[in-house]
Structure 1
């Protein structure tokens, strides 16, 4: 067994590093399976996951569609994805088919990231720091859709690289041009560091019983109804501050090499994915929740919907800071990509630096 394990590990590692060769098929397979699931729901199957469940404006955008309409939309999009996925496997395509495939892939990915998740994912991540875990089928379905979005996004990247004659693995071309994200990486990181501060400031003020931005009676009622209210506010605010500090590592030396005082790993290089993966997960969850919050804020401000949500009617402090969440999530995601581009080494496929 010991003789075969290193070989198996090497084969698995090789398959992972050669992801451009299989990511398009993974996206098509996801479309087949998820399309079949929605076909089952279209025929009246149980378990349709897109329900408002009394969340009002905090619910995902897709919940505004009736169940049968939503299933028809997804079956159609998934069928289109299978056909477009086959087109993307070709090395040469006409200009129209190329741009249509790219537009579909990115459009479908963005729709899955923005219109499917609601505020439950980011709430679950935050409450995990209080050792409160609440996971259900609706949340699992959101994660499945996020995985599908990532598959289609990565398939689109590979297809774009292939059709512009760049390396499918790293995107480098013979002109040696530096990716624009590297040049903007510092500013994107700074935005991602400061964007959550208003939310953290509000939470800290509430933890100190200062009714900043809300009605004092609302804060008293909220604190009396929740015995752990103060602890929750401290944790939520601290998570934002600590997250901002860790985000700063994307442009600092200690984000590339562990400080010497770290036990066992001090002085060693920080694995790239140790920074990129957590930042990307948070970026997706924050952007999706921020999109829902922003929609709610503007819908209420423009009086498109009645002000029947208690949080939305208690003052700017209850929802106002969330308007920074979309730029926070987008900046964090792009900053993580810039960090990856800046730190990646020589491509094992094309040999370019």
Structure 2
């Protein structure tokens, strides 16, 4: 086995620099907006449904909160590079993971997943609001990676794979199949609803609602078929995380048949979808609860159609979380032996 020191701070340093850079950049933007600069991206003057959670805060409050978060990010980034114990470890972990989760749940709205879906109709959204959401998700990933790197340092684990001398199989690897099946089944209610609407069946809504919806959008039926099919196709691709063809391309594939599937080819798109679905699901679920308990004003039409209009999206949080965990399990299973510390072994569902 490689006798090289298990932990090398270089990776932690890189993640710390990412946290520092993002905090300085995004904190500076919000300082600019606090001093009456134009372009503040979280405007929701009418408190509409399906908006990002942060838009319900006044601009001065939301901007000040993000400036504080970024200032703390700067301090934490400096601390984890060269720990002085000036900041307790529990605070570092709580801050890094808490900020990562908050940037995914409270900042993006439903437009992120909608843009990904409409891209299949060759409709693209490059607005400043969309760029801002992507910037915040990059920040969330930076904070998450820094938390993982710092945790490995505390455990004196390998900086590249996180393994230690007496590691046991991670629970995600053991429960990977069950988690993946949840990710496959969770989008089915949405797909079934969209297929029903495409066929003119008012599932969960009144027929008048469906007729009005169709009259507003002449290609409504085509869009419903596409959205429903995207969920089904996504579920089938998710199965690849626990199937042989998810590790090796089928032999009938031209040029690449029989070759191993690059790990990142599955991990990157699945992670992007998991983040977008989770953030949209959080917005839909919050909006559903707000309408159900009359926390916000909504017209009678929306109140009567809520179960069909966005009830199926209540499954999106479990869908996004399950997809994210299934993707991590896939990565952990396929990453093989660490080239840095020599620990681990190749775990594959393919029998060679």
Cα distance between partner residues in 2 of 1:319 and 1:105: 32
Q: 1:61 aligns to what? A: 53
Task: Mark the CA change 1:338 to 1:162 in structure 2 (over 3 Å): closer, same or farther.
Answer: same
Unaligned 5+ runs, structure 2 = 1-9, 345-352
Q: 2:44 aligns to what? A: 52
Q: 2:349 aligns to what? A: none
- 1:120-139 alignment, distance < 5 Å: 120-139=111-130
Corresponding residue to 1:114 among 105, 124, 129:
105
Corresponding residue to 1:333 among 313, 324, 329:
324
Q: 2:74 aligns to what? A: 82
Deviation of 1:301 after TM superposition, in Å, equals 1.3
Task: Mark the CA change 1:274 to 1:20 in structure 2 (over 3 Å): closer, same or farther.
Answer: farther
Indicate the larger mover: 271-280 or 168-177.
168-177
Cα distance between partner residues in 2 of 1:237 and 1:62: 29
Deviation of 1:53 after TM superposition, in Å, equals 6.5
With normalisation by structure 2, the TM-score equals: 0.92
Cα distance between partner residues in 1 of 2:252 and 2:12: 39
- 1:1-353 alignment, distance < 5 Å: 19-52=11-44, 56-90=48-82, 93=85, 97-308=88-299, 310-353=301-344
Contact 2:273 2:320 (C-alpha < 8 Å) held by counterparts: yes
Deviation of 1:180 after TM superposition, in Å, equals 1.2
Across the two proteins, how many residue pairs are aligned to each other? 335
Deviation of 1:54 after TM superposition, in Å, equals 5.5
Task: Mark the CA change 1:44 to 1:209 in structure 2 (over 3 Å): closer, same or farther.
Answer: same
Contact 2:18 2:142 (C-alpha < 8 Å) held by counterparts: yes
Cα distance between partner residues in 1 of 2:185 and 2:42: 33
- Counterpart secondary structure, 1:132: coil
Render the CA deviation track for 1:176-204: whole Å, top value 9, x for unaligned.
31111111111110000000000000000
C-alpha RMSD over aligned residues: 1.5
Unaligned 5+ runs, structure 1 = 1-17
Contact 2:113 2:280 (C-alpha < 8 Å) held by counterparts: yes
Task: Mark the CA change 1:309 to 1:326 in structure 2 (over 3 Å): closer, same or farther.
Answer: farther
Deviation of 1:115 after TM superposition, in Å, equals 0.3
More RCO (CA 8 Å, sep 6+): 2
- Counterpart secondary structure, 2:311: helix
Q: 2:7 aligns to what? A: none
Q: 1:9 aligns to what? A: none
Deviation of 1:20 after TM superposition, in Å, equals 4.1
Render the CA deviation track for 1:8-56: whole Å, top value 9, x for unaligned.
xxxxxxxxxx754411111111001110110001111000001127571
Cα distance between partner residues in 2 of 1:317 and 1:36: 42
Cα distance between partner residues in 1 of 2:74 and 2:341: 29
Cα distance between partner residues in 1 of 2:26 and 2:300: 33
Task: Mark the CA change 1:201 to 1:168 in structure 2 (over 3 Å): closer, same or farther.
Answer: same
Task: Mark the CA change 1:127 to 1:165 in structure 2 (over 3 Å): closer, same or farther.
Answer: same
